[in-house]
Chain A
Amino acid sequence: MNCANHPDIPAAAFCRSCGKPLCETCKRPAQGTIYCEEHVPAPSVSTPAAVAAAPAIPAHPAQGPVDLSASPGLAFTLGLIPGVGAIYNGQYAKGLVHAIIFGLLVSIVSSDYAGGLEPLFGILIACWEFYMAMEAYHTARKRRAGEQVDEFSSLFNLQGRGSRVPMGAVLLILLGILLLLNTTDIIPLQRVLRYWPVLLIVFGVYLLFLRLTGGGRTSSTAAEANPEVRHDQ
């Protein structure tokens, strides 16, 4: 196949957007792949797009300062105390969230809200305990290796940066409505909490929806990027 603009020169690469064959003089490398003259992104646009894409693609971690004082072993030990492991890594908001979730789980077990599910929540507490420790351990290792650690790098994406659905805000509103109904004695929380398996169903449907609409952007873009890189070799 020959170049679209120069029919006598063999194509060296293909545009990522339109698939047009391009020779060495027509190809416009940008953001690690090849584009044609029309589809090459403007440099001013490409910089914020690359910055926005960086947290979503774990394969290319941004380089942070190498912190050799971060000890993974100490982080693991401190991580057994709720929130302290994250605070050791300098992630104060995450430490607060860890401690609050730990406290919530303990409160559920000690109240009568669990409704016979105390063993399940007891095991959840144990899992959460070791999750916090392992999370602190891996964050400390990342800091030693000089990889950029985000405040909520491994915690689930509350900001909803990757998705178009603002999960944090919606969850906050739903929680507020639920607790308001409880405190005003319109619908007691015990009656609502009996329907907790609905959460599993909703989460499953949400995951299904993501898969069917191609919402798993990070994995698909990473898979797309590799063949594109191979094009120009």
Chain B
Amino acid sequence: MTSNELVGAVRGPIILITVGTLFALDHFTPWGFQQTWPVLLIVLGLLTLLGRMSRPGPSAGGVS
């Protein structure tokens, strides 16, 4: 399994864990979900970034 496939396989579970953590924070701490939801955007961005970094870009192969 390449690292790119690993990032793809791990994306769903990590988002699920993040959502679960945010709802747990909502229930057990003063942090409400309406305050912490942008964390989801950050996690999504980080996952996209990781997926791109593990894969060599098409421009690295080069057309010229």
Contacts and interface: CB of A to CB of B under 8 A. Distances in A.
Interface string A98-131: 0000000000000000000000000000000000
Contacts of A217: 59, 63
A169 B58 contact: no
Contact of A170 (B38, B44, B45): B45
Q: How large is the interface on B (under 10, 10 to 19, 20 to 34, 35 or more residues)?
A: 20 to 34
Interface secondary structure of B, over-half rule: helix
Nearest to A50: B63
Interface stretch (A83-91, A148-156, A176-184, A193-201): A176-184
Contact of B34 (A45, A166, A183): A183
Given A49-B62, A52-B58, A172 B48 contact: yes
Contact of B48 (A31, A169, A179): A169
Interface in B16-41: 34-41
A219 interface: no
A205 interface: no
Contacts, number: 75
Contacts of B13: none
A224 B64 contact: yes
A183 B41 contact: no
B12 interface: no
B39 A170 contact: no
A133 B13 CA distance: 39
B11 to A, nearest CB: 13
Contact of A221 (B38, B61, B64): B64
A178 B42 CA distance: 10
Interface of A: 31, 45, 48-49, 52-53, 56, 160-164, 166, 168-180, 182-184, 217, 221, 224
Interface of B: 34-46, 48-49, 52-53, 57-59, 61-64
